[in-house]
Every structure is written in structure tokens, then in C-alpha cells.
């Protein structure tokens, strides 16, 4: 009787906190915060919820860790040789792109502004502000202005993307909004009607960076 050759068992990657967090980020990107459950995460990881609890205490800790992982990725670049302005622009754009790719991050951070992920961003901005030789009494204001702009605009851009229907065309959407602007009352909305054409063709990232440059110009002009 011929012996049957046994297939080697497929080795699975050991469950770790890093693997859980990575899977949580993927799940959040797919279904959002409301869909992040330990049951769904366990199915994705092919394990039981109890095994996940061994590494993460609950959803609050998991959300914080997932957010921290995304934000940390944006601030780990080497900017040693960059000017303060270049470093701030790069950091700001990294946060903008992170919010764009992971819209749930902005929502979470808006609820927890004092959490460690954004404190690290604030620290890096503040150090670059100091390198611009901003007087000590004005450093908090300058760093806060940059921080608030970055979080506000990046968060709003991510929120705008969530309002679009799946498969919606951004150009068509902006064109429809611009058309509404052009039809507003000319006495009450004279300026808005004037810039409606710019809304149609604007680039979100370019406009975001232009705003950063305006703030940096103001900061340096006061010195």
C-alpha cells in the first residue's frame, strides 16, 4: 500500500502587537472606526479575540496605537540637512498625506488633541520655529499657528473626501460646487463668485503648502 506524503503545515506569522496594529490600520482604512471590532480583527488575523486582548487592552488603546503608528511614519524622515522652512513644509505635507490616506486619523486626533502622536509633531515644529530665531515669547504662538493650520486643513480635506460617493469624480464635484458659487447673490457673495473659477481647478496639496508658506512668511517677517 502506497504511503501518502504529508504536506507540511503552513507556518503562520506569530501574533504580535505590531501585527495587530498593522491589521487594525488596514481595517480602519477599509471600514472606518465603526467597523473596527475585535471580532472583525480576529477574523482578519485568523485568531481568536482572546489572543488579541493579550496584546491590546481594548478598542481605545487599539485606536491610539494605530494612530500613533500612522503619525510616526510621517515624522521619521531624515531632515537633518533641510532648512527650518523645508523641514516644516515636509512635515506638514507628511501629515496632510497621512490624513488623506487614513481619514480616520484626523477624526481621532480631533477628539484627543493632547495625545502623544501630535505632541511629537508639535515638538518637531517647535524646534524648527526656534531655529528660525523666533523670540521665546512668540514661539508658542508661531508653533501653534502652524499646528492648528496643519491639523485643520488636513482634517477638513479628509472630511471632504469622505462626503464623496464611492467612485465620484473630484473634478465633476468641484465643477458643480463652483457653478453654485457663480449663481450666488452678487451683492452678498461678490468675492466668492470671483474665485469660483479657481475652485474648479485648484490642487488641494498645492493650496495647503501655499498656506504653510504664508504662515512661515509671516513668522519670519516679524523677526
pTM to 2 decimal places: 0.82
Q: Position of cell 503648502?
A: 209
Predicted local distance difference test score (pLDDT) of residue 11? 36
pLDDT bin (cut points 50, 70, 90) of residue 73 is: confident
Q: How far does Cα 117 stand from its chain's mean position?
A: 11
pLDDT of residue 192: 96
Question: Residues, the chain, total?
Answer: 223
- Exposed, middle or buried by CB within 10 Å (0-12, 13-18, 19+), for 172? exposed
How confident is the model at residue 12, as a pLDDT?
A: 58
Give pLDDT, residue 114: 67
CA dihedral (56, 58, 61, 67) positive or negative: positive
For residue 110, pLDDT beyond 80 = no
CA distance 93 to 209: 7
Asked if residues 149 and 215 have their Cβ atoms less than 8 Å apart, the reply is yes
pLDDT above 70 coverage of the chain, percent: 90
Question: What DSSP letter does each residue of 63-79 carry, written as one string?
Answer: HHHHHHHHHHHHT-S--
Give pLDDT, residue 166.
62
- The lowest-confidence range among 95-99, 105-109, 205-209 is 105-109
Read off the pLDDT of residues 141-182 as tens digits, 9 standing for 90 and up.
999 999 999 999 998 888 777 776 666 677 888 899 999 999
pLDDT band at 197 (very low <50, low <70, confident <90, very high): very high
Under the banding of pLDDT at 50, 70 and 90, the label for residue 72 is: confident
Region 13-23: mean pLDDT is 90
Residue 1 has pLDDT above 50, yes or no: no
Query: Nine-digit cell at 75?
Result: 515624522
pLDDT of 8 strictly over 60: no
Q: What is the Cβ-side half-sphere exposure of residue 138, based on CA atoms within 13 angstroms?
A: 13
Mean pLDDT of the chain: 87
Amino acid at each position: 500500500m502506497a504511503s501518502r506524503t504529508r504536506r507540511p503545515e503552513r507556518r503562520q506569522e506569530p501574533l504580535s502587537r505590531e501585527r495587530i496594529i498593522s491589521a487594525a490600520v488596514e481595517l480602519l482604512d477599509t471600514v472606518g472606526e465603526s467597523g473596527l471590532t475585535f471580532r472583525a480583527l480576529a477574523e482578519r488575523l485568523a485568531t481568536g479575540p482572546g489572543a488579541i486582548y493579550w496584546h491590546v487592552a481594548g478598542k481605545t488603546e487599539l485606536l491610539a496605537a494605530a494612530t500613533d503608528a500612522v503619525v510616526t511614519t510621517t515624522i521619521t524622515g531624515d531632515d537633518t540637512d533641510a532648512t527650518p522652512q523645508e523641514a516644516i513644509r515636509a512635515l506638514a505635507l507628511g501629515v496632510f498625506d497621512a490624513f488623506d490616506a487614513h481619514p480616520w486619523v484626523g477624526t481621532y486626533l480631533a477628539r484627543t488633541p493632547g495625545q502623544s502622536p501630535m505632541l511629537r509633531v508639535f515638538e518637531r515644529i517647535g524646534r524648527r520655529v526656534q531655529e528660525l530665531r523666533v523670540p521665546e515669547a512668540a514661539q508658542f504662538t508661531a508653533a501653534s499657528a502652524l499646528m492648528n493650520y496643519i491639523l485643520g486643513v488636513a482634517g477638513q480635506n479628509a472630511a471632504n473626501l469622505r462626503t464623496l460617493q464611492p467612485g465620484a469624480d473630484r473634478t465633476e464635484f468641484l465643477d458643480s460646487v463652483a457653478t453654485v458659487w457663480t449663481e450666488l447673490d452678487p451683492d452678498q457673495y461678490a468675492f466668492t463668485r470671483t474665485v469660483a473659477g479657481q475652485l474648479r481647478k485648484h490642487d488641494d496639496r498645492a493650496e495647503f503648502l501655499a498656506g504653510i508658506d504664508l504662515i512661515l512668511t509671516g513668522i519670519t517677517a516679524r523677526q
